[in-house]
Structure 1
Amino acid sequence: MSPALPVADGPSVRRYALELARRHPRLLGSAVGLHVLAAAASLAAPRLLGGLVEAVEEGTTLAHVDRIAPLLALFLLIQTVLTRYARYRSQVLGEQVLAELREDFVAHTLDLPVGTVEAAGSGDLLTRTSRDVEQLSWTTRWALPEWTIAVVSAVLIFAAALSVGWWVALPCLLAVPPLAVGLRWYLARAKDGYLRESASYSQINATLADTVEGARTVEALGLGRQRIDAADTDCADSYDAERYTLRLRTAFFPAMEVSYLLPMVGTLLFGGWLYTRGQVTLGEVTAATLYVQMLIDPVERLVAILDELQMGAASLSRLLGVALVPDDREVSGAQPLDEKLEARDVRFSYVEGRDVLHGVDLDVGVGERIAMVGPSGAGKSTLGRLLAGIHPPRTGSVTVGDVGLVELPLGDLRGHVALVTQEHHVFVGTLRENLALAAPPGAGDVEIRAALDAVDALEWVDALPDGLDTMVGSGRRALTAAQAQQVALARLVLADPHTLVLDEATSLIDPRAARHLERSLAAVLHGRTVIAIAHRLFSAHDADRVAVVEDGVITEFGSHDELVAAGGSYAALWDSWHGRGS
């Protein structure tokens, strides 16, 4: 199982919730104030009914009853109106809080080190961005406002009950022991249970995503049964996690139901006993019983919504946990003296204790074109990612102008070094919007079309139904793999970094077109430093120098002619490749 992203602890969740509340004092104050007024309006009915019962006992008139009935209707109407606006303000507050939380989450997600995301896998992050956000949305929009209403109502109703007489507190205390024991038992188990539940969904998503992305490999190697078994195992784990939380609820809620009834029965019996002794009136017993009966509803809602709040708290813990991932770079504030790229004694490992690179040294001159070749798994792409500042080295240093790449803010780093791989993404939107992502401020269609022309893409773009305004991306017009790769290269031209790391950047384009494309790019990128990782050796032939990477080290480094003359690994590779091409 992939290592999961961190989860925030309880104090961190509470601090964040308080910080969100402090950002909206007016909305929060108005929502709570309206809830208080609505709850206060609901307290009039038991008093009026208690007084009416007492009046009937003493003998009253029909006119008196007729005066009480409109008052009851009036207070009911006031309560309804206040409740409506209280819920409205609560919903507005919930939407704003949720929007801010989503923005914070997206910002923290975009700041995640690439290595951390790759190690955790797509399943965990996907579950947090989908199910956890959805759960928190439900909690914020519904559970939290309802819980606030219940708290305010319970406090005011209990205060109103005590105003009838001190004796009402005694039967109410009957509910405290079972409530305290039940809540302590439930809260001690609920958060871990719901976190386990969410983690199981992450694992299901990870397994499904890996299976779908590698569907061709699964089919080619006959791994279908293994992948189905893996998914079945994940579903079984999720089933166990769901059963655990279900057992918590089925044990907790019935026990709570009993505790709700004790105060009402106690109030009725104790109040009746006091009435027989002449210490309270029948109207007071009636009002007290009605107040305690009213208290059942908010307390029941408090307990019921507590389950939703636990799920929401677990989701919030997972969302906030993304911000706890330590940064893999330490910004120093120093500025590069020039654009010279250097690697010194670089070692790197994806798994502790298993280095992929073993003491690599590499000097790249300003404006030089370096080709990196070697067998698959030799460490070429890893070295390219370190030279682009994607990963920090485990030991050693990678610098541009004597400043470590991981010491530069990301915005500054991408102005010096940029990486383009065979992995690319087309965002939902117009083709113009996809390209403008990398364009400098103020760039228009002239610059965008020039970039497309530089990567031999202008012809097919002009042939699209709406040209640059054509909608592309998921669910829109599908671009071929080669076209999408050209879009990625056009972004690179628009970004205009000084040093480019191209990791099989033209691998999805047929060899003839790729050859032409690289020659076109060479004219555009003249004067810039280029490090090209390629399996097509014509790129190495055109480079100033070639680095041969084998088993995590650079075994040969020189010009094409020098390495061919040396008769080493590169010469053998060239002879083999050239023989196939001739």
Structure 2
Amino acid sequence: MASPGTAAAANGSAIYRRLLGYVRPYWGRFLIAVLGMVAVAASETGFVALMKPMLDGSFVERDPTVILWTPIVIILLFLFRGVAAFSSGYVMAWIGRKVISTLRGQIFRHLLKLPVAFFDNTPSGSLVSKLIYDVEQVATAATKAVTILVRDTLTVVGLLGWMFYINWRLAVVLLIGAPLVAKIIHIINDRFRRYSRRIQGSMGDVTQIAQEVIEGQREVKAFGGHDYEERRFEEANEHNRRLNLKLQGTQVASVPVVEFVAASATAAVIYMALSDLDTLTVGAFMSFVGAMMMMHSPMKRLTQVTATLQRGIAAADSVFSFIDRPGENDRGQITLDRAKGEVSYRDLTFRYAEDKPDVLQGIDLQVAPGETVALVGRSGSGKSTLVGLLPRFYDPTSGSIELDGHDIRDIRLDSLREQVALVSQHVTLFNDTIGNNIAYGHLEGADRETIIEATKAAHAWEFIKELPQGLDTMVGENGVLLSGGQRQRLAIARALLKNAPILILDEATSALDTESERHIQAALEVLMKNRTTLVIAHRLSTIEKADRIVVLENGRIIESGHHEALLDKEGRYAALYNMQFQD
């Protein structure tokens, strides 16, 4: 059985191979960068190799030819090195930004395909952290770490080769410390991997708290939450600081330890060389010592690259785990042009998770094409969940939902949702123009006159025409520059423009004043004609004209009928209605 450390290393290797797959499309440029790295490494060895003839030929033998050509060769060597370093550095940076762009695009596209249940259980801050922070760490591992590994490894190999050429006995002595260095690096790798994974999570916590405060800043101010939020953020921030400090401490400590081992071997080599100078010329000795000195920098970077590599692998593990998550189950083969609107809930039960109680139990409900059905009941009775199952925001735990006789799971998701228009009590607007918020998604490209007609029908044109830029007015983040009633009217205009055969109204008039509500109610009555409509309303006066009223309690249907019939029954609906009437 493999040890945990071996398994982690194997897993890290697999993750890194997958990561390098994102570099594969740019293999031509990558090859140019690698050739540049080879050239840089060769120039390091070339410089120390030049020291031998330079010292022996100029200072010892006073050879005029060597004296003439040595400065020229040095200039050409560093010019060659500069061009090679620039080429490899720029190309690797280009590849790194392409990897970041590709990964971010892939994450965002996958984000759009994930089921609603995933977002219910995942803090948005951790998702933003993956998209911004983790991807940067991944790209650094894919490019910067590769640059150091290739260039500095080749440099060390080249310098070692030169030292073996000068005096193999001294080179062997230098290598005595190699096993100890390898062991130190192995220990460092384990610590880096462990702390890097924790840092990914702590960054998500910091991002999450900051995002919640930004989005809920009105509530923070209104309820005096400054101190509480400051403490929450400080705890998360401090936890992140401590983890990063441990990571940096490991990295900082590893360098002097490795350097001390290397310096000890270097001291032994110099002692042996000085004890037996007869076998070495002055140039050979200085060239050998120069090679040893020049090895320190690449060895130091190779030790430090472990931190970058392990951070990148931990981030890549987080990113790939997200990308590998299954998206919405869209195995339907049926495409509907325009549904008639016959909806049937058959013995439907639903719970949000296996360990949660049933939210809906044994629901049987048939809605005829063009019928308006109002769902009423106390908060938590399952009304919003019931209508949310129709566009497949969730799938039933058991039972089924049918549209025009087809199980909605057999209908392609985009085709199913094309049949449904939704107006929710929680209106979502994007930081775009009013026109683009109304003509959103599949409605993009609708002509301006059609959009204006929809706003007039929703009684939104009254305030839109007064704005300096009209339909081109920016609404701000989630419509913050508009009032609640204005936002709701834009959502109704969006539904009007979609002109879908099925309409879901979840507290669609909740944010409107009495006068606006009357206008909107009249517009909705026109909109609901010849459409299957499911209405959720707490104000029962708004659904008196519904074809049928269904009363839910504790996830079950307990009453169903017309407004007058339910009042005459003097059951739950009558009690709710009388309570509101008295209020």
* Common fold by TM > 0.5: yes
User: Which blocks of at least 5 consecutive residues in structure 2 are unaligned?
Assistant: 1-9
Distance in 2, Cα, partners of 1:216 & 1:379: 29
- Is the contact made by 1:464 and 1:470 (CA closer than 8 Å) also made in structure 2? yes
Residue aligning to 1:5? none
Alignment of 1:58-457 (within 5 A): 58-136=60-138, 142=144, 144-164=146-166, 166-167=168-169, 169-210=171-212, 230-231=232-233, 233-235=235-237, 237-272=239-274, 275-276=277-278, 278=279, 280-335=280-335, 339-351=341-353, 352-440=355-443, 442-457=445-460
Assess, with a 3 A threshold, how the Cα gap between structure 1 residues 46 and 562 changes in structure 2: closer, same or farther.
same
- Is the contact made by 2:372 and 2:532 (CA closer than 8 Å) also made in structure 1? yes
Assess, with a 3 A threshold, how the Cα gap between structure 1 residues 446 and 260 changes in structure 2: closer, same or farther.
farther
Assess, with a 3 A threshold, how the Cα gap between structure 1 residues 575 and 242 changes in structure 2: closer, same or farther.
same
- Is the contact made by 1:335 and 1:403 (CA closer than 8 Å) also made in structure 2? no
| CA offsets 1:409-468 (integer angstroms, 9 cap, x no match) | 432232123433222333223333333323446422122222222221122222211122
After the TM superposition, which of the residue ranges 201-210 and 419-428 deviates more from structure 2? 201-210
- Is the contact made by 1:329 and 1:407 (CA closer than 8 Å) also made in structure 2? no
Assess, with a 3 A threshold, how the Cα gap between structure 1 residues 154 and 449 changes in structure 2: closer, same or farther.
farther
Distance in 2, Cα, partners of 1:528 & 1:273: 100
After the TM superposition, which of the residue ranges 63-72 and 207-216 deviates more from structure 2? 207-216
Aligned residues: 571
- Is the contact made by 1:41 and 1:75 (CA closer than 8 Å) also made in structure 2? yes
Alignment of 1:571-582 (within 5 A): 571-580=574-583
Q: Tell me whether 1:461 sits opposite 2:464 in the alignment.
A: yes
Aligned to 1:24, the other structure's residue is in SS state helix
Distance in 2, Cα, partners of 1:563 & 1:293: 93
Residue aligning to 2:30? 28
| CA offsets 1:231-263 (integer angstroms, 9 cap, x no match) | 555445445534443443344333222234245
Distance in 2, Cα, partners of 1:335 & 1:52: 80
Aligned-pair CA distance for 1:105: 0.9
Cα-Cα RMSD: 3.0
One-letter identity of the residue aligned with 1:463: E
After the TM superposition, which of the residue ranges 82-91 and 9-18 deviates more from structure 2? 9-18
Q: Percent identity?
A: 28
Distance in 2, Cα, partners of 1:26 & 1:528: 58
> Which of 482, 501, 505 matches 1:502?
505
Aligned-pair CA distance for 1:72: 0.6
One-letter identity of the residue aligned with 1:315: A
After the TM superposition, which of the residue ranges 244-253 and 447-456 deviates more from structure 2? 244-253
Aligned to 1:429, the other structure's residue is in SS state coil
Q: Tell me whether 1:16 sits opposite 2:26 in the alignment.
A: no
Residue aligning to 2:4? none
After the TM superposition, which of the residue ranges 83-92 and 47-56 deviates more from structure 2? 47-56
Q: Tell me whether 1:540 sits opposite 2:543 in the alignment.
A: yes
- Is the contact made by 2:193 and 2:311 (CA closer than 8 Å) also made in structure 1? yes
- Is the contact made by 1:344 and 1:362 (CA closer than 8 Å) also made in structure 2? yes
| CA offsets 1:173-228 (integer angstroms, 9 cap, x no match) | 23422321112112223222122122123234444555665667678888777666
One-letter identity of the residue aligned with 1:342: S
Distance in 1, Cα, partners of 2:471 & 2:78: 60
One-letter identity of the residue aligned with 2:329: R
Distance in 2, Cα, partners of 1:291 & 1:454: 82
Q: Tell me whether 1:515 sits opposite 2:518 in the alignment.
A: yes
- Is the contact made by 2:100 and 2:136 (CA closer than 8 Å) also made in structure 1? no
One-letter identity of the residue aligned with 1:322: F
Assess, with a 3 A threshold, how the Cα gap between structure 1 residues 258 and 435 changes in structure 2: closer, same or farther.
farther
Aligned-pair CA distance for 1:372: 0.9
After the TM superposition, which of the residue ranges 306-315 and 262-271 deviates more from structure 2? 262-271
Assess, with a 3 A threshold, how the Cα gap between structure 1 residues 109 and 11 changes in structure 2: closer, same or farther.
farther
One-letter identity of the residue aligned with 1:286: M
Distance in 2, Cα, partners of 1:151 & 1:500: 65
| CA offsets 1:290-321 (integer angstroms, 9 cap, x no match) | 22322221221122232123222222222222
Distance in 2, Cα, partners of 1:489 & 1:372: 19
